[in-house]
Amino acid sequence: MSRRIAILGGTFDPVHLGHLAIAEDVRFALEAACVLFVPAAQQPFKTGAETAGAEHRLAMTQLATADNPGFGVSEIEVRRGGISYTVQTVAELRAQYPEDELFFIIGADAAADLHRWFEVERLLSLCSIVIVERPGYVLDTEALYTALPFARSRVRHVAGPGLRISATELRERLLKGHPVRYHLTPAVLQYIEQHKLYREPNSA
């Protein structure tokens, strides 16, 4: 029997309550069987405080999602290594779930550049796109569909939770010792403290 599976990719550096809230809203809106979190293997750039390696980010994502039976974590990009194109990841997941309907989750800001994505028409043949609204950002949907007419029938819109939590800001808060208790799950915060992540290089 065909199921709906949503895919949420990202660096998850660190994974936070905003990621989890978006995933749960999409799961509910689609009546999806599962939301798969796919941590990226390689950081495309560094901003602010020190970033965490792929194995740490994978472990934190597993901890953050462990108590929700509707969430799962895929290691395919971490195992593959390097920077992955979305179409590569979705093609591999399509092979793993041939009978299921796949949806790839992106923010409205990222959707504005969807027509520039690598092999985007092939991507849209493999999955539908779920665009989640971002606080303070209004997507020009007509411009999107003018640039990418094929997307019109392959896009769903979800309002999303509207939480303003940024991983970049979280890394800065952790670096400065500011409170992050209500931004992260307790398990993720404990992992960060145990492994001394997001500190200045060579700090004690």
In sequence order, what DSSP letters do the residues of the chain get, joined into one string? ---EEEEEEE--TT--HHHHHHHHHHHHHHT-SEEEEEE-SS-S---SSPPPPHHHHHHHHHHHHTT-TTEEE--HHHHH-SPPPHHHHHHHHHHHSTTSEEEEEEEHHHHTTGGGSTTHHHHHHH-EEEEEP-TT----HHHHHHH-GGGGGGEEEE--------HHHHHHHHHHT---TTTS-HHHHHHHHHHT-SS-TT--
Centroid of chain to Cα 121: 21
Q: Does domain 4-195 have CATH number 3.40.50.620?
A: yes
State residue 49's pLDDT score.
60
The model's confidence at residue 175, banded by pLDDT at 50, 70 and 90, is very high
Q: Identify the weakest region by mean pLDDT among 38-52, 83-97, 127-141.
A: 38-52
State residue 135's pLDDT score.
87
Q: List the domain boundaries for the chain.
A: 4-195
- Answer whether residue 3 shows pLDDT above 70: yes
Question: What share of the chain in percent tops pLDDT 90?
Answer: 88
- Answer whether residue 180 shows pLDDT above 60: yes
Average pLDDT over residues 164-182: 95
To the nearest whole number, what is the mean pLDDT of the chain?
Answer: 94
